[in-house]
Each structure stands twice: as structure tokens, then as C-alpha cells.
Amino acid sequence: MSLLSIENIHTYYGNIHALKGVSLNVEKGEIVTLIGANGAGKTTTLRTISGLLKPREGKVTFNGEDLAKYKSHEVIYKGICMVPEGRGIFARLTVTENLEMGAYSRTDKTEIQNNMEKAFTIFPRLKERRTQVAGTLSGGEQQMLAMGRALMSNPNVLLLDEPSMGLAPVLVELIFDTIQDINKSGTTILLVEQNALMALGIASRGYVLQTGQIVLSDSAENLKKNPTVQKAYLGME
């Protein structure tokens, strides 16, 4: 049984059929990436998993349990947390206050403090800026904060939506190194990323999404060698 599984998902925005029978699975301890062009349905997939969107057909299961009956904040209680595209930090709160917001569902104060220290260990730059108002951070620092805030919920599965968007190349390297570190510490990751080469470089497996349908799934290594993937997503002719 997979840790996270979505089966034959059909998700709509009004009358727009955004996901057309998407199925994928993520095993415990994996980094799995979902790649595709803009508008393919990658973010919609993450939003469906996290309960922000409800599918008309199909189901999302976590540890074998159907998540359909849970609201999005209850999905976080279950152990799935999403870092949204665009980061979504609380710009007027400090770094520390943003991290504390990530633990709003928890009451174990000692463990919350331990998680805070862990976030500062993973992102030392945040520790240096812990009293700084989040809206004044650089783009890279805001991405670190969004990821650190998600980790404060102590998730089993982290959903990452375009973590490298808008970042300088040196920061992209840092963010991807950090994603690997988070995974090595025991968090399973489903990664949506426009930079397909970087994503396939750290993932064990990948899915290719095209106009709301999975058109390819394979090991990351095989996807990097696939001529269609190379031409469409890796910039190779």
C-alpha cells in the first residue's frame, strides 16, 4: 500500500475539466516529481491532494484512508502539508511568527520548540532574521520561510509547488539541496517544478502531466533519457 495515492481523479474549475483521470502514487521516503507545461494541471493536482479542491470523481488516499471527508485544514492534521506556488507567507508577521503559524494545529509546546530549532538548523538564514518582518525578506529567504513554516506542522508528506520560481540560480541549488536534506530526515516529498532537469536530478520517480492527463511515468533516470521529455521539458533537441 502506497503512503499517498490518487486514483482516477477528475477535478473541475466550474465547467473546465482540469484533471482528467489522473492517477499517481508516492511511497514512504520517496521524492516524486510531477512535471509538465504551464496549465497542465500540476498545481491543481496538489490542491486536490491537500483538500483545497474536491474531485468530482476518483479518490485521494493517505495511509489507506480516503481523504474525501476531510477539509483542507484537517488534511494538514493528517500529515500532508503544501508549500504553495508564490510562497504565501504572512508578509506583516516576523519570521518567528510565520513559523509559529505553521504549528497552529499543534499543542505540544516542547515539540513545537524542537521543530522551530530544526527549521533554524535547516535554514540558518532564517535564524539570523527571526525578528525581521517577512515581507522584507528576499525571494529566496521567503521560499525558505514557506518551507520552514510547512515543516512546523511536522508533516509526513510535503507538497512543494514550484519552489525555485523566481529565484537566482545559486539559490535554486540551495533550495534543491535543502529539499534533499528534508527528505533524508524522513519527510516524503511530492515536488511540482518547472525546472524539470533539477527536479529529475533529485527525484527517484517522476510523472509527466499534459493537459490534465498523465502521459508518462518512469524512474527519474529514464525520464531524463526519454527523447520526448528531453525535447519538451529539458531543452534538448
What is the domain-level CATH number for residue 38?
A: 3.40.50.300
Please report whether residue 121 resides in a domain.
Answer: no
Beta bridge partners of 11: 19
59 three-state secondary structure: strand
Please report whether residue 125 resides in a domain.
Answer: no
Please give the pLDDT value at position 237. 66
Please give the pLDDT value at position 62. 97
Please report whether residue 66 resides in a domain.
Answer: yes
Domain that holds residue 49: 1-79+157-163+187-237
Domain count, the chain: 1
Mean pLDDT along residues 175-198: 94
Query: Mean pLDDT for the chain?
Result: 94
146-165 pLDDT, tens digit each: 999 999 998 999 999 999 88
The answer to whether 121 touches 101, Cβ cutoff 8 Å, is no
**pTM (2 d.p.):** 0.92
| Distance separating alpha carbons of residues 37 and 11, to the nearest angstrom | 18
The answer to whether 143 touches 87, Cβ cutoff 8 Å, is yes
* Amino acid identity, position 74: E
Sign for the pseudo-dihedral over CA of 233, 193, 197, 170? positive
Please report whether residue 96 resides in a domain.
Answer: no
Checking if the pLDDT of 57 tops 70, the result is: yes
59-112 pLDDT, tens digit each: 999 999 999 999 999 999 999 999 988 878 999 999 999 999 999 878 888 889
Other C-beta atoms closer than 10 Å to the C-beta of 161 total 24
Please report whether residue 90 resides in a domain.
Answer: no
Residues 6+ apart with CB under 8 A from 166: 139
Mean pLDDT along residues 14-38: 96
Structure-block grid coordinates of residue 126: 532564517
Please give the pLDDT value at position 104. 85
